[in-house]
Amino acid sequence: MKELLVLSIGILLLSFVIFLGVGFHKLTAYENTYSEDEYDLADEEDSVNAYVGGDAYNYIINASQATAYFILAGFSLISAIALAILKEIKVLLIRGSLKKVEPEPLDN
Protein backbone atom coordinates (compact mmCIF):
# COMPACT_ATOMS: atom_id res chain seq x y z
CA MET A 1 0.00 0.00 0.00
CA LYS A 2 2.88 2.34 0.79
CA GLU A 3 4.40 1.75 -2.64
CA LEU A 4 1.07 2.58 -4.28
CA LEU A 5 0.91 5.90 -2.42
CA VAL A 6 4.47 6.76 -3.37
CA LEU A 7 3.78 5.84 -6.99
CA SER A 8 0.61 7.96 -7.00
CA ILE A 9 2.48 10.93 -5.54
CA GLY A 10 5.21 10.53 -8.17
CA ILE A 11 2.70 10.38 -11.01
CA LEU A 12 0.87 13.45 -9.71
CA LEU A 13 4.12 15.41 -9.40
CA LEU A 14 5.12 14.38 -12.91
CA SER A 15 1.74 15.48 -14.24
CA PHE A 16 2.19 18.79 -12.39
CA VAL A 17 5.46 19.42 -14.22
CA ILE A 18 4.03 18.38 -17.58
CA PHE A 19 0.87 20.50 -17.26
CA LEU A 20 2.91 23.48 -16.09
CA GLY A 21 5.27 23.13 -19.05
CA VAL A 22 2.45 22.82 -21.57
CA GLY A 23 0.73 25.86 -20.05
CA PHE A 24 3.84 28.00 -20.35
CA HIS A 25 4.36 26.73 -23.89
CA LYS A 26 0.86 27.91 -24.78
CA LEU A 27 1.67 31.37 -23.41
CA THR A 28 5.14 31.86 -24.83
CA ALA A 29 5.32 29.96 -28.13
CA TYR A 30 3.30 31.61 -30.87
CA GLU A 31 3.95 31.91 -34.57
CA ASN A 32 1.25 32.72 -37.08
CA THR A 33 2.58 32.58 -40.62
CA TYR A 34 -0.70 33.87 -42.01
CA SER A 35 -0.40 37.17 -40.16
CA GLU A 36 2.63 38.19 -42.21
CA ASP A 37 2.60 39.63 -45.73
CA GLU A 38 4.09 36.49 -47.27
CA TYR A 39 0.90 34.52 -47.80
CA ASP A 40 2.32 32.64 -50.77
CA LEU A 41 5.20 31.19 -48.77
CA ALA A 42 3.13 30.42 -45.67
CA ASP A 43 2.68 26.79 -44.77
CA GLU A 44 0.27 25.40 -42.17
CA GLU A 45 3.01 23.33 -40.56
CA ASP A 46 4.99 26.49 -39.78
CA SER A 47 2.26 27.87 -37.50
CA VAL A 48 2.69 27.28 -33.77
CA ASN A 49 -0.37 27.62 -31.51
CA ALA A 50 -2.25 29.43 -34.28
CA TYR A 51 -5.84 28.39 -34.88
CA VAL A 52 -7.51 31.27 -36.74
CA GLY A 53 -6.26 34.09 -38.95
CA GLY A 54 -6.35 36.89 -36.37
CA ASP A 55 -3.55 37.33 -33.85
CA ALA A 56 -5.82 38.65 -31.10
CA TYR A 57 -8.14 35.65 -31.34
CA ASN A 58 -5.18 33.28 -31.19
CA TYR A 59 -3.85 35.02 -28.07
CA ILE A 60 -7.26 34.69 -26.41
CA ILE A 61 -7.46 30.99 -27.30
CA ASN A 62 -3.91 30.33 -26.08
CA ALA A 63 -4.50 32.24 -22.83
CA SER A 64 -7.66 30.23 -22.15
CA GLN A 65 -5.89 26.95 -22.82
CA ALA A 66 -2.90 27.97 -20.70
CA THR A 67 -5.27 28.79 -17.83
CA ALA A 68 -6.82 25.33 -18.10
CA TYR A 69 -3.38 23.68 -18.01
CA PHE A 70 -2.36 25.77 -15.00
CA ILE A 71 -5.52 24.70 -13.17
CA LEU A 72 -4.77 21.05 -13.96
CA ALA A 73 -1.21 21.56 -12.69
CA GLY A 74 -2.55 23.12 -9.49
CA PHE A 75 -4.96 20.26 -8.86
CA SER A 76 -2.17 17.75 -9.47
CA LEU A 77 0.11 19.50 -6.99
CA ILE A 78 -2.60 19.84 -4.34
CA SER A 79 -3.51 16.16 -4.75
CA ALA A 80 0.13 15.12 -4.43
CA ILE A 81 0.55 17.18 -1.26
CA ALA A 82 -2.68 15.75 0.21
CA LEU A 83 -1.55 12.19 -0.51
CA ALA A 84 1.86 12.89 1.06
CA ILE A 85 0.17 14.22 4.20
CA LEU A 86 -2.13 11.20 4.37
CA LYS A 87 0.85 8.87 3.90
CA GLU A 88 2.68 10.49 6.80
CA ILE A 89 -0.41 10.34 9.01
CA LYS A 90 -0.76 6.64 8.20
CA VAL A 91 2.91 6.02 9.06
CA LEU A 92 2.52 7.84 12.37
CA LEU A 93 -0.63 5.89 13.22
CA ILE A 94 1.12 2.59 12.49
CA ARG A 95 4.08 3.56 14.69
CA GLY A 96 1.77 4.65 17.47
CA SER A 97 3.26 8.13 17.60
CA LEU A 98 -0.12 9.76 17.15
CA LYS A 99 -2.58 9.48 19.98
CA LYS A 100 -6.26 9.28 19.29
CA VAL A 101 -8.07 12.32 20.62
CA GLU A 102 -11.20 11.49 22.57
CA PRO A 103 -13.97 14.09 22.41
CA GLU A 104 -14.92 15.67 25.71
CA PRO A 105 -18.55 15.52 26.73
CA LEU A 106 -20.46 18.79 26.57
CA ASP A 107 -21.89 19.97 29.90
CA ASN A 108 -25.12 21.94 29.80
Which pLDDT does position 51 carry in this prediction? 77
Which pLDDT does position 60 carry in this prediction? 87
Which pLDDT does position 36 carry in this prediction? 56
Put simply, whether the predicted model's pTM sits higher than 0.85 gets the answer: no
Per-residue pLDDT of the chain (108 residues; tens, 9 = 90+): 678 989 999 999 999 999 999 999 988 887 777 655 555 555 556 677 787 777 788 888 889 999 999 999 999 999 999 999 999 888 888 887 777 677 888 876
CA dist., res. 24 & res. 17, Å (int): 11
Domain chopping of the chain, boundaries = 2-95
